Each structure stands twice: as C-alpha cells, then as structure tokens.
C-alpha cells in the first residue's frame, strides 16, 4: 500500500493525478476462506481489518451485496461519543472512542475525526438526575465528562436558546469534550483500503443468499457468484440481520426500523459542537462542509424502505427550532432514511450462535456508527478465538433468556 501524505499529494499533482494506486482490488472470490465476513459496511470492514491486523488471519473475504459502506455507514449523522450509562456499554464505546482517536494514523486515511465535544441536554429534573448519574459513572469508568450549567452550554453553542421561558428550558447538560464527529464514508474506505492491503478480498455486488451448514456447523455461504467455503461466517449486516439469520434458521430479538436524518444547505460555521436532546427530541451538529446535520429517534414501525414518515421530520425540526430559534430560516437540503436493527434493550448483540462457526454482530440500533472501530475490534477477537472478547461477553444473545439486559434506552433514546 502506497502511503498517503502531503508529499504524496504533491508528487501526484506533478503527474496530474494519473498515477494514484487503487484503494482496493476487485478480486474474484476464492473457493475457501478462513473467515467470511458477510456485510461490507463499516463494522464488517473493521472486523476484517482487525482479523488481519491483530490476529494475522488474512485469508478473509468481505462479501457485500451492494457497494462498500453503502448501508448505515453512508446514512448516519456521524456522531461519536462514549458516555453511555452502563459499564458494559460504556466500556465498549470507550474502546471505540480510543480507537477513533488514532484511526486516521492507524489507517493512513483521514477519517476526519473531529473532537468538538458532545452536549446531552437536560430539560427536567429527572433528566438532570440521569445526567448526573451517567456522568458520575462515566468518570469512574475513565470516560471524560462533566455536568455543565445552561450558561456553559450557551458558551459552547452560542446560538442555543437557554431562556427560562421556553416550553422545556435547558436545565443543564452533560458535556463530553472527547466526543465529536467523523467523515462517515471515509471510515469505510479507510478500513477497506487497510484490509485490502493486508490481503483481505473485498467482494462487492455479491449477495449472500444462503448459509450452508453441516451437522450444526457452518461450511460456507451461497452467493450470487456461487458457493464460497468457510468454517467461520461472521455476519455484520445491519438493517438485514433478521433476514440473514433466517438463512441459518435462527431468530434474533431484533426489529428493523427506519431511522431518518436530514441536512440543511451549507452555512458558515455557526455550531461548533454536537448538541443532543432526548426530551425535546433531536440532535444537531455542523459538518465541515457547513451542513447542519440533524436527526431524531427511529420511526415507530418495522421497515426496510430506507425512508420513514414525514411527521417525524416535522417533529424533529420543531425540536431544532425550539433549541435554535435562529435556524428557523435555514433550509432543509436533503433528507433520507437508514434501516437500523433495534434490540429490546437498545444494546447490540455481539455473539456466537447455536450454529458452530456462525457469529452475529447486530442490533446496534442508533449507536452503530460511533461503535465502528470497537465493534470490529471485539468481533474480530470473538471470531478469531471462537470465544467472546471480554468487552463483548455481556452482549451475547443469551441475555434475552436469562434477563441480563443492559437497558441503554436512556442514553440511546435519540442517541447517535
């Protein structure tokens, strides 16, 4: 892999950019791989990357039915933070955040991870109790965070309305300075380029249509390009997990729901942090291009349509205009929807299954993008060792039978 740098850019400019290397190859699938990763989104590509990089397993294929990073990696609002409530979730997201902090250099691909901080607003006394509880827990878990006053919120986000007279005044917030945003597509491309350089085959426009098993163990996958053998199949197919699980006769406690987002036209810098509110129900940040990037909670019904209902957009913008009355005259440029797999406890499943050699990583709900590096890291470890990584152990699918749920609805409500 040829390294990217200011110098390489300069050198290539001299030759009119005619000599850049391809980011990845387009190989024909081999007959057999040590691991097949189903799903070429951010999580799948990260899984393949860490399998090769950390575990030395390079005979890996990533099979993607469309194009790399074309699912929720392409459709999210790019928020990154680790201030989750429960130890299990917080530690997993914190691992992820730590990986984010070195990811551009690790991958030699600028994923533009921008630590401009995340505010989670509180609008009533119970919000503030929950914020206090979460921040205290975060700090004792080694995660940065503080509880801030409305005045401090106003310093961080000057256009926000902290009037006491509005319907749900801001009473305070949690503030995680290390949180922020990243360039979503770049994450997928960076991992893809890194994995490819380590020998991973990235196979696009190839759909897995069956999971072949023999005596309760996986032996490979049927694809639109034919059968490909492997004793380990790792499924990371957010938005389609139920469909893929059904191929192996499995059911998951997962429902697929539309999650919508929108962006404004680009405007000059006016919001230098990420602002989220559960009670008023919306979140907002500004991209490097100048777009205000806005989202809310998932739509109420199951849906695979990559679109949701308009009234959700209306409610979201009501919330944004409440929080930032000055943005009322800004205009929506584009809206879209993704499909998120939601679990009953708003936490993911990173788990072995009852089928030997079949692993699932799904159910990230609204929290998937920020978890990309950590998810890939612990899932690769789980697959490589056929044993849950310590940080993945709590996220086994069996918790839905024992009752050991990790209820993150409070932290994940509209959370991204």
Partner 1 sequence: MSQINRLNTGARTDSTSRINFTYNGKQMQGVVGDTLASALLANGVNVVGRSFKYSRPRGIVGHGAEEPNAIMQIGSGAATVPNLKATQVELYEGLESASVNGWPNVNFDLMSITGWFGRMMPPGFYYKTFMYPAKLWMTYEHFIRKAAGLGSAPVQDDPDSYDKLNQHCDVLVVGAGPAGLVAAREAARAGARVIIADEQSEFGGSLLASINSIDGQVATSWVDELVAELESFSNVQTLPRSTAFGYYDHNFLGILQRRTDHLGISADSGSRQRLHRVRAKRVILATGAFERPLVFAQNDIPGVMQASSVSTYINRYGVAPGNRMILFTTNDNAYQTAIDWHRAGRAVVAVVDSRSAPSGEIVAVAQEMGIRVIAGSGVIEAQGGKRVRRALVAPLNGDGTEITGVVEKLACDLIACSGGWSPAIHLSSHTGAKPVWDETIIGFKPGQSVQKERSAGACGGTYSLAGCIAEGASAGAEAAKLAGCGDGTVHFPMPQIKEFSEQPAQALFLVPHTKATSRAPSQFVDMQLDVSASGIELAVREGFKSVEHIKRYTAMGFGTDQGKLGNINGMAILANALGQSIEQTGTTIFRPSYSPTTFGAIAGADVGALFDPERYTAVHRWHQEQGAAFEDVGQWKRPWYFPRGGESMQDAVNRECLAVRNSVGILDASTLGKIDIQGPDAAEFITRMYTNSYLKLAPGKCRYGVMLKEDGMIFDDGVCACIGDNHYLMFTTTGGAAGVLAWLELWQQTEWPDLQVYFTSVTDHWTTATITGPNARKVLAKVCDDIELANDAFQFMDWRDGTVAGVAARVFRISFTGELTYEINVPAHYGRHVWEALIAAGEEFDITPYGTESMHVLRAEKGFIIVGQDTDGSMTPADMNMDWVVGKNKTFSFIGKRSLQRSDSVRKNRKQLVGLKTVNGTQVLPEGAQVVFDPEQKIPMSMQGHVTSSYFSSNLGHSIALAVVKGGHGLLGKTVYCPLADGRTIAAEIVSSVFYDPKGERQNVE
Partner 2 sequence: MLLIHCPHCREDREEEEYSYSGEAHIVRPLEPEALSDQEWGDYLFFRKNPKGIHHEMWYHAVGCRRYFYATRNTLSYEIIETYKVGEQPQVSAQGAAQ
Site string for partner 1, 233-252 (x = CB under 8 A): --------------------
Strands 208-214 and 358-362: unpaired
**Using CB distances below 5 to 8 A depending on partner kind, what does residue 236 bind out of partner 2, partner 1, none?**
none
> Is residue 205 left, alpha or beta, with left meaning phi > 0 and alpha meaning psi from -120 to 50?
left
User: Rule CB under 8 A: which residues touch partner 2?
Assistant: 240-243, 246, 251-256, 300-305, 309-311, 344, 400-403
Nearer to partner 1, 53 or 213 (CB): 53
Closest by CA to 364, choosing from 240, 203, 195, is 240
Ranges within 73-132 binding partner 1 (CB under 8 A): 74, 87, 91, 102, 104-105, 108-116, 123-126, 129-132
Residues 206-225 binding partner 1 (CB under 8 A) are: none
Which of 158/300 has CB closer to partner 2?
300
Contact 144, 82 (CB under 8 A): no
What does the block give as tokens for 67? 């194009």
Single residue of 159, 209, 243, 246 touching partner 1 by CB under 8 A: 159
Site membership for partner 1, residue 342 (CB under 8 A): no
Among 413, 336, 392, smallest CA distance to 71 is for: 336
Interface positions, 350-379, toward partner 1 (CB under 8 A): none
Q: What interhelical angle do 184-197 and 368-385 show, nearest 10? A: 20
| Residue of the chain from 28, 214, 251, 268 that contacts partner 1 (CB under 8 A) | 268
Binding at 300: pick from partner 2, partner 1, none (beta carbon under 5-8 Å per type): partner 2
Q: Taking CB within 5 to 8 Å according to partner kind, which of partner 1, partner 2, none is near residue 242?
A: partner 2
| Contact present, 77 and 293 (Cβ < 8 Å) | yes
The option from partner 1, partner 2, none interacting with 183 (CB < 5 to 8 A, set by class) reads partner 1
3 state DSSP class of 36: strand
- How do strand 274-277 and strand 282-286 relate by DSSP bridges? antiparallel
Residues 6 or more apart in contact with residue 153 via CB below 8 angstroms: 119, 121, 160, 162, 170, 172, 173
Q: Identify what 321 binds: partner 2, partner 1, none; CB under 5 to 8 Å per kind.
A: partner 1
Task: Check residue 28 for interaction with partner 1 (CB under 8 A).
Answer: no
Contact flags string 166-205 toward partner 1, x per CB under 8 A: xxx--------------x-xx--xx-------------x-
Task: Pick the stretch among 5-13, 53-61, 211-219, 240-248 that binds partner 1 (CB under 8 A).
Answer: 5-13
What is the footprint of partner 1 within residues 269-298 (CB under 8 A)?
Answer: 269-270, 286, 288-290, 292
For residues 293 and 56, what is the distance between their CA atoms, to the nearest angstrom? Answer: 38
Binders in 315-334 for partner 1, by CB under 8 A:
317-318, 320-322, 325-334
Of 339, 317, 311, nearest in space to 263 by CA? 317
DSSP states along 181-196: E--HHHHHHHHHHHHH
Helix (H, G, I), strand (E, B) or coil at 35: strand
Please work out the total of residues on this chain that contact partner 1, with binding judged by CB under 8 A.
110
Nearest to 356 by CA among 242, 192, 218: 218
Q: Which is nearer to partner 1, 137 or 219 (CB)?
A: 137
């Amino acid at each position: 892999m040829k390294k990217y740098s200011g110098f390489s850019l300069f050198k290539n400019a001299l030759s009119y950019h005619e000599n850049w290397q391809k980011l990845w190859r387009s190989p024909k699938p081999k007959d057999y791989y040590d691991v097949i990763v189903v799903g070429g989104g951010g999580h799948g590509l990260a899984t393949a990357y860490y399998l090769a990089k950390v575990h030395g397993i390079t005979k890996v294929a990533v099979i993607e039915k469309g194009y790399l990073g074309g699912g929720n990696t392409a459709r999210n609002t790019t928020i990154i933070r680790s201030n989750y409530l429960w130890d299990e979730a917080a530690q997993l997201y914190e691992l992820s955040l730590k990986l984010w902090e070195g990811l551009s250099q690790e991958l030699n691909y600028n994923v533009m991870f921008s630590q401009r901080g995340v505010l989670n607003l509180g609008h009533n006394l119970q919000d503030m109790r929950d914020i206090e509880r979460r921040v205290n827990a975060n700090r004792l878990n080694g995660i940065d965070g503080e509880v801030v006053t409305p005045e401090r919120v106003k310093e961080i986000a000057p256009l926000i309305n902290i009037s006491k007279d509005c319907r749900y005044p801001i009473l305070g917030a949690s503030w995680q300075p290390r949180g922020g945003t990243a360039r979503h597509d770049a994450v997928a491309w960076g991992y893809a380029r890194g994995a490819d350089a380590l020998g991973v085959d990235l196979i696009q426009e190839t759909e897995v249509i069956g999971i072949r098993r023999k005596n309760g163990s996986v032996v490979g996958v049927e694809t639109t390009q034919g059968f490909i053998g492997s004793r380990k199949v790792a499924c990371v197919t957010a938005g389609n997990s139920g469909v893929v699980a059904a191929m192996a006769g499995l059911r998951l406690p997962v429902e697929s729901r539309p999650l919508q987002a929108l962006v404004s036209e680009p405007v000059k810098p006016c919001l230098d942090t990420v602002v989220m509110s559960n009670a008023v129900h919306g979140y907002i940040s500004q991209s490097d291009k100048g777009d205000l990037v806005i989202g809310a909670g998932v739509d109420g019904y199951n849906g695979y349509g990559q679109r949701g209902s308009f009234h959700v957009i209306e409610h979201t913008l009501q919330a944004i205009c409440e929080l930032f009355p000055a943005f009322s005259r800004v205009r929506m440029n584009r809206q879209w929807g993704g499909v998120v797999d939601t679990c009953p406890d708003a936490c993911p499943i990173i788990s072995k299954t009852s089928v030997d050699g079949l692993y699932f990583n799904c159910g990230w709900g609204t929290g998937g993008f920020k978890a990309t590096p950590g998810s890939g890291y612990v899932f690769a470890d789980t697959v490589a060792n056929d044993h849950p990584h310590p940080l993945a152990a709590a996220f086994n699918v069996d918790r839905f039978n024992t009752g050991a749920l990790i209820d993150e609805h409070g932290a994940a409500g509209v959370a991204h």
